[in-house]
Structure 1
Amino acid sequence: MTQIFTPAADTWLRLFMVGGLALSSGGLVGLIGFAHSAYETSTDVRPHQPVPFSHKHHAGELGIDCRYCHTGAETSPQAGLPPTATCMTCHSQIWTNATMLAPIRKSLADDKPIIWTRVAKLPDYVFFRHDIHIAKGVGCETCHGRIDAMPLTYRAKAFTMEFCLDCHRDPVPHLRPKDHIADMTWQAGTDASASGEKITAHEGIRFGQLTHCYVCHR
């Protein structure tokens, strides 16, 4: 009787199975790693801007409140970007001839807004309201990181579905008193849970409903 398979066939079959499993596992790990990489999530990327605006200088060193420039943060779905007139409230008096501020002066003279490159941007299929998060006690630093320490603005947090759901599942640790909303150095302290629970009760935050699909996708 003729033998179809060689004695080594079983060994080769085992090697192919092990190799295929290793390749599949490695591919899956690589895919997950890529999905969480800075390249895919756009974290730590400093896009070119018409003016090299420094949050470190303005918010950190000068102590300018976030809401002075982002006037819609508490009242509208988008925080908004400051009009040129806001910049010129200071720069009509200081650094009036600075070369780097030439686009600001031209914007005012031509009555045309500066086209900034957005850093904190969500996909169009995500429904998000900035004002609601601020009203419920989510601080600027929670989503934007220590922006007061950024010479050039970048995305500090990966705005992934996982990032949002982690907070929506358990918002208590992420909430703070409203007088500390824009305070980048605020720490919850030892009574973080008690403080957060008090805020959720006061604001009527409905546990369990924040993870429903329609909350973010409408």
Structure 2
Amino acid sequence: MALFSPVSNLYARIGVIAVALLLAGGVGWWLAWPRTHYARGVGFDRDQPVPFSHQHHVAGLGIDCRFCHSTVEISSDAGMPPTYTCMTCHSQIWTNAALLAPVRRSLAENHPIAWRRITDLPDYVYFNHAIHVAKGVGCASCHGAVATMPLMYKQYSLTMAFCLACHRNPGPNLRPADAIFDTEWVRGPSTPPPAALMARYGIGGRNLTECSICHR
């Protein structure tokens, strides 16, 4: 008497195929998940203590990026505005708005607002805002169309491939010095060509894809 019926062979084959598919799917997911926009936070805004709108403050009111990010030209870090910067205006307007209660509380308690980071590079990556600004890279090249964002989100992946693409061919991302912080600037017929901008900023004498440039 047979211990297993003939149909058991079919079940065994189906089981082996199912396990193989599960393993293949698991490996595929493990490889693909970190590369998705969701995992990298691309296109998703984050809840903040105060729903600050760049669209309103930058595009609407015309506030220059450097008013809040005051160290972007002199430091590796662009800087976040202290509460008294916000209160420069909001001690005069919207003084009792419930929306701004965390800002008033921060000033009264002398405790900074804990903003949630939108763009956060790994610790093993060195990035210097000042040198990029000094060499003609506009804010939008990395941060996207910030002036159109009601709530801030990451527009680009900022992966190694993203950075290397620019370091291999920086010319198209360069702007004239007076347009670096201009949120409405677009390249036009009167814009110097990329090669001319690279020469103006002294770019080209070093291999910008050397590992030590970003990994120090």
Equivalent in the alignment of 1:95: 94
1:111 counterpart = 2:103: no
Q: Number of paired residues?
A: 200
Q: Is the 8 A contact 1:138 1:174 kept in 2?
A: yes
Alpha-carbon distance in structure 2 between the residues aligned to 1:144 and 1:99: 29
Q: Name the amino acid aligned to 1:79.
A: A
Equivalent in the alignment of 2:213: 215
Q: Is the 8 A contact 1:57 1:151 kept in 2?
A: yes
Equivalent in the alignment of 2:53: 54
Alpha-carbon distance in structure 2 between the residues aligned to 1:124 and 1:201: 32
* TM-score after normalising by structure 2: 0.84
Alpha-carbon distance in structure 1 between the residues aligned to 2:190 and 2:59: 27
* Post-superposition offset of 1:198: 1.5
Alpha-carbon distance in structure 2 between the residues aligned to 1:143 and 1:114: 24
The 3 A distance-change label for structure 1 pair 34 and 75 is same
The 3 A distance-change label for structure 1 pair 29 and 180 is farther
RMSD of the alignment, in Å? 2.5
SS of the residue 1:187 aligns to? coil
Equivalent in the alignment of 1:202: 200
**1:157-176: CA deviation from partner (whole Å, max 9, x where unpaired):** 10100000000000000000
Q: Name the amino acid aligned to 1:65.
A: D
> Runs (4+) of structure 1 moved beyond 4 Å?
26-33
* TM-score after normalising by structure 1: 0.83
**1:125-175: CA deviation from partner (whole Å, max 9, x where unpaired):** 001100000000000111111111111110011010000000000000000
Equivalent in the alignment of 1:151: 150
The 3 A distance-change label for structure 1 pair 124 and 96 is same
SS of the residue 1:163 aligns to? helix
Equivalent in the alignment of 2:128: 129
Q: Is the 8 A contact 1:56 1:151 kept in 2?
A: yes
Unaligned runs of 5+ in 2: 1-15
Q: Show the 5 A alignment for 1:1-218.
A: 33-190=32-189, 194-206=192-204, 209-218=207-216
**1:7-46: CA deviation from partner (whole Å, max 9, x where unpaired):** xxxxxxxxx9xxx8xx96x888766653431122211121
The 3 A distance-change label for structure 1 pair 31 and 171 is farther
The 3 A distance-change label for structure 1 pair 32 and 170 is farther
Alpha-carbon distance in structure 2 between the residues aligned to 1:50 and 1:27: 37
* Post-superposition offset of 1:185: 2.1
